[in-house]
């Protein structure tokens, strides 16, 4: 397959080509190219993304290790050591300056105090590309990026193409995990005013076969897998790495997809525009959204590694070459944890490290998670309230879950960012809310334990109650003061 990643240049010699070199070669150049994992042009060596750290609010740019190469994740790890980091800008590699930044409020308001959306954690989606570490963008609900003043994008009924490589196992039914063309005023301005990749298992507008998740086209006020919203052959997806493709021009559009780690693309739909009014001709406006709907709907979740928007309707052959390039990039999973080993099946205690609270352990009283002073002379019942059995993560076996010692079948989970001990109801939401990823303690002691589904949020004690807190934010328990200490716990083997 290597020949697909090569391109003939003027002299007749073959050079390696990135996805945007392939699109340009096909006559449909990228007008925006976004990735936190790698350069999307063979010659690109500029900044891929910017991270902002919690300790002093300073930023740094992360670039490829070499032109055309994989992101320098080590530079991020050094910059973010022992603090928290957010992805503050995803740069456009096309040279047009179509960068993605924190999405402003629209028809829907984001969760920040000013109505903006949250920024994504810089560490929520570690991967390797041919063995080299990089980070994708893990977006919980409430997270969004946008550019409402894009240069060169399709307007009206003009043709465009786009692809995105996503985590096919991270999704929900909220509206809307999108990447692509949308309204320039962050409002729903009507049918046909968007043309964006959607991924998730919403069935409110459209769906494919099985129970999802599906690749769909968000064309505003409709998610489509074909001419009509439902009863189309679009497959349910279970690829860990999923190549998604949407393209659209005058009364013609297509959805294509495939396993981003091997093999070729399938065409899920190709044909005329949807039958409801407003979608033919289209009224595209040309903004670019990422992780949200056109009106800034912020209920969806997903993970993104790379994506582009093109000018013109790419040929299937060009897209097939891009898919071969993506496969050759060698996406694979990476460890979500670091530091202390949390051995599945073991019984542990978690002792606070905040000065003045170091005799307190993470415990529970009924459903309430709190900290309590526990010692070897404490009653057995109290000791057991402060002991947890480590289980493989209910939503992701690369992380862990904490089963109550004295209430087997009940687990620590977060709900509205407050920790609870609740019985496992088996739902996808419960499993996700009960999965936590430990890493070396942010204050240099023990471990800090982030929420798998909200990697900006960490198990924190605040006024002796348990939360998942972020390092600065709108909730009282997001207070940045003593954050590193409040989220660092010494892991013990229980009580004698």
Ligand X SMILES: *[C@@H]1O[C@H](CO)[C@@H](O)[C@H](O)[C@H]1NC(C)=O
57 binds ligand X (CB under 6 A): yes
- φ, ψ of residue 338 in degrees (nearest 5): -155, 175
Residue whose CB is nearest to ligand X in the complex, by number: 57
What residues have CB less than 8 Å from 77, skipping those under 6 apart?
Answer: none
Nearer to ligand X, 3 or 481 (CB): 481
Task: DSSP letter for 230, please.
Answer: S
Taking CA atoms, 37 is separated from 141, 239, 266, 302, 431, in Å, by 22, 19, 24, 16, 28
Q: Determine, following the binding rule CB under 6 A, whether residue 58 of this chain makes contact with ligand X.
A: no
Residue linked to tokens 């070499």: 66
Closest to ligand X by CB, 56 vs 463, is 56
Task: Give CA–CA dist 305/327, Å, rounded.
Answer: 13
Half-sphere exposure of 460 (CA within 13 A, CB side): 28
Question: Which residue, 1 or 474, is less far from ligand X as judged by CB?
Answer: 474
Asked whether 33 and 153 are in contact (CB, 8 A), the reply is: no
Name which of 205, 129, 203 is nearest 171 in CA terms.
Answer: 203
- Tell me how far, at minimum, the Cβ of 56 lies from ligand X, in Å: 5
Say if residues 33 and 308 touch (Cβ distance below 8 Å).
yes
Distance CA 311, CA 309 (A): 7
56/416 with CB nearer ligand X: 56
| Residues with a known catalytic role | 220, 295
How many residues in total does the chain contain?
Answer: 496
Q: Distance (Å, rounded) from C-alpha 387 to C-alpha 405?
A: 6
- Shorter beta-carbon distance to ligand X: residue 57 or 380: 57
Q: How far is the CB of 125 from ligand X (least distance, A)?
A: 24
Tokens of 483: 């954050």
Min CB(314)–ligand X separation in Å: 42
- Select the residue interacting with ligand X from 67, 480, 482, 490 (CB under 6 A): 480
CB nearer to ligand X: give 55 or 236: 55
Alpha-carbon distances, residue 466 vs 23, 265, 282 (angstroms): 50, 46, 50
472 part of the interface to ligand X, by CB under 6 A:
yes
Q: Residue 482 interacts with ligand X (CB under 6 A)? A: no
Nearest to 442 by CA among 453, 432, 456, 452: 456
**Residue 56 or 425 having the CB closest to ligand X:** 56
**What's the min distance (Å) between Cβ of 480 and ligand X?**
6
Binding of ligand X by 107 (CB under 6 A): no
Task: By CB under 6 A, name the one of 2, 11, 56, 277 that touches ligand X.
Answer: 56
Residues touching ligand X, count (CB under 6 A): 4
The nearest distance, CB 472 to ligand X, in angstroms, is: 6
The answer to whether the CB of 88 falls within 8 A of the CB of 94 is no
Helix (H) or strand (E) holding 383: helix 380-385
Over the window 189 to 228, marking each residue x when it contacts ligand X by CB under 6 A and - when it does not, the resulting string is ----------------------------------------
Nearest to 308 by CA among 40, 55, 65, 120: 40
Distance CA 300, CA 142 (A): 8
Tell me the CA end-to-end span of the chain in Å, nearest whole number: 60
Question: Which backbone phi and psi does 325 adopt, to 5 degrees?
Answer: -65, -40
Reading the block at residue 52, the tokens are 């902002």
Least spacing, CB of residue 53 vs ligand X, in Å: 9
Return d(Cα 282, Cα 214) in angstroms, integer.
Answer: 23
Q: Considering the complex, state which of residue 75 and residue 480 has its C-beta at the smaller distance from ligand X.
A: 480
The span from the CA of 456 to the CA of 181, in Å, is 27
Which CB, 187 or 480, lies closer to ligand X? 480
Please state the closest distance from residue 85 (CB atom) to ligand X, in A. 13
Nearest distance in Å: CB 57, ligand X: 4
Shortest distance, position 457 Cβ to ligand X, whole Å: 17
Residues in the site for ligand X, rule: CB under 6 A?
56-57, 472, 480
């Amino acid at each position: 397959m290597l020949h697909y990643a090569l391109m003939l240049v003027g002299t007749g010699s073959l050079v390696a080509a990135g996805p945007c070199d392939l699109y340009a070669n096909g006559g449909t150049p990228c007008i925006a190219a976004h990735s936190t994992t790698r350069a999307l042009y063979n010659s690109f060596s500029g900044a891929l993304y910017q991270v902002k750290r919690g300790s002093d609010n300073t930023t740094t740019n992360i670039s490829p290790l070499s032109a055309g190469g994989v992101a320098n994740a080590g530079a991020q790890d050094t910059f973010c050591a022992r603090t928290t980091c957010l992805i503050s800008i995803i740069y456009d590699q096309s040279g047009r300056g179509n960068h993605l930044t924190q999405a402003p409020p629209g028809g829907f308001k984001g969760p920040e105090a000013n109505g903006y959306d949250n920024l994504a954690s810089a560490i929520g989606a570690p991967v390797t590309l041919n063995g080299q570490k990089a980070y994708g963008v893990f977006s919980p609900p409430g997270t969004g990026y946008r550019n409402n003043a894009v240069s060169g994008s399709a307007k009206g009924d003009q043709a465009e193409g786009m692809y995105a490589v996503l985590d096919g196992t991270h999704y929900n039914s909220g509206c809307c995990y999108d990447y692509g063309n949308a309204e320039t005023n962050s409002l729903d301005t009507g049918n046909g005013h968007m043309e964006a990749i959607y991924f998730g298992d919403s069935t409110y507008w459209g769906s494919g076969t099985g129970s999802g998740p599906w690749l769909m086209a968000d064309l505003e006020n409709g998610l489509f897998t074909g001419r009509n919203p439902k009863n189309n052959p679009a497959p349910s997806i279970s690829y860990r790495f999923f190549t998604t493709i949407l393209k659209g021009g005058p009364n013609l559009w297509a959805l294509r997809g495939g396993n981003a780690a091997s093999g070729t693309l399938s065409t899920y739909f190709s044909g005329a525009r949807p039958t409801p009014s407003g979608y033919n001709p289209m009224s595209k406006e040309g903004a670019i959204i990422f992780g949200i709907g056109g009106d800034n709907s912020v209920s969806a979740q997903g993970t993104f590694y790379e994506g582009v928007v093109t000018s013109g309707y790419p040929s299937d052959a060009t897209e097939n070459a891009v898919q071969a390039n993506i496969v050759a990039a060698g996406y694979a999973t990476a460890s979500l944890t670091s530091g202390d080993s949390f051995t599945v099946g073991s019984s542990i205690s978690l002792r606070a490290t905040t000065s003045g609270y170091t005799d307190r352990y993470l415990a529970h009283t009924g459903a309430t998670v709190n900290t309590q002073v526990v010692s070897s002379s404490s009653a057995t019942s109290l000791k057991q309230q402060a002991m947890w059995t480590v289980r493989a993560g209910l939503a992701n076996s690369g992380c862990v879950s904490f089963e109550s010692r004295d209430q087997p079948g009940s687990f620590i989970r977060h709900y509205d960012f407050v920790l609870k001990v609740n019985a496992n109801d088996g739902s996808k939401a419960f499993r996700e809310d009960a999965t936590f990823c430990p890493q070396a303690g942010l204050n240099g002691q023990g471990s800090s334990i982030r929420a798998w589904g909200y990697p900006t949020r960490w198990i924190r004690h605040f006024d002796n109650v348990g939360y998942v807190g972020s390092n600065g934010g709108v909730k009282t328990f997001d207070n940045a003061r003593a954050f590193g200490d409040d989220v660092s716990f010494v892991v013990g083997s229980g009580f004698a």
